[in-house]
Amino acid sequence: MPRIGVFALQGDVREHLAALTSLGADAFPVRRPTELAQCDGLVLPGGESTTMIKLAATFDLLEPLRERVRDGMAAFGTCAGMILLADRLLDAAEGQQTIGGIDMTVRRNAFGRQVDSFEGALDVVGVAGPVPGVFIRAPWAEEVGPGVEVLAEARGHAVAVRQGPLLATAFHPEVDGDGRLHRLFLDGLATA
């Protein structure tokens, strides 16, 4: 059974823990480097990316996160988590950092403000049937490198990507109870 941590300093922590647990993963919150060291994989949830990165630095978790991702730990970022896994940002807050790992340029709040949030069915490579996409102040991948596979698009923009053991979505698969994207992440661990 894989041990999957969920970055738990801010964001949709409970929802991801519930989704992972329902699929048989040993899921637990990660707030410290010692907890991160116990992970086979990590979920970076939706939330507020600037706050998340500041808290990671404050709790001495930022560099260990970067190191684990560089060393090949599997990670799944949703919404703000997609921003955190991007190597490059557009419309970033001044001085905003990322964990990095996916060769992509992500535009923060690309689909607009909170009032512009929307839902829509998405075709996702590797997942049978349409997946519910819940977009809340969502980013998109403006540009991806040659090693990045685009798994889904919405309104002409990449909203789900994969590079090696890293998976990222611009939407919130944890809020709809579907579980198939969490399964895709867990299945990737099993084949790694």
Per-residue confidence of the chain (192 residues) as pLDDT tens digits? 899 999 999 988 999 999 999 999 999 999 999 999 999 999 999 999 999 999 999 999 999 999 999 999 999 999 999 999 999 999 888 889 999 999 999 999 888 777 788 899 999 999 999 999 999 999 999 999 999 999 999 999 999 999 999 999 999 999 888 899 999 999 988 766
Domain coordinates of the chain in residue numbers?
Answer: 3-191
Based on the residue annotation, tell me whether 67 is a catalytic residue of this protein.
Answer: no
51 backbone dihedrals φ, ψ, rounded to 5°: -65, -40
Strand, helix or coil for residue 21: helix
The domain made up of 3-191 is a member of CATH 3.30.360.10: no
d(CA 158, CA 66): 24
The one catalytic residue among 15, 16, 39, 172: 172
Strand, helix or coil for residue 29: strand
Based on the residue annotation, tell me whether 94 is a catalytic residue of this protein.
Answer: no
d(CA 167, CA 184): 9
Based on the residue annotation, tell me whether 39 is a catalytic residue of this protein.
Answer: no
CA distances from 167 to 57, 58, 77, 104, 181 (A): 23, 25, 6, 12, 9
The one catalytic residue among 16, 39, 174, 182: 174
**How many C-beta atoms lie closer than 10 Å to residue 32's C-beta?**
14
pTM metric for this prediction: 0.96
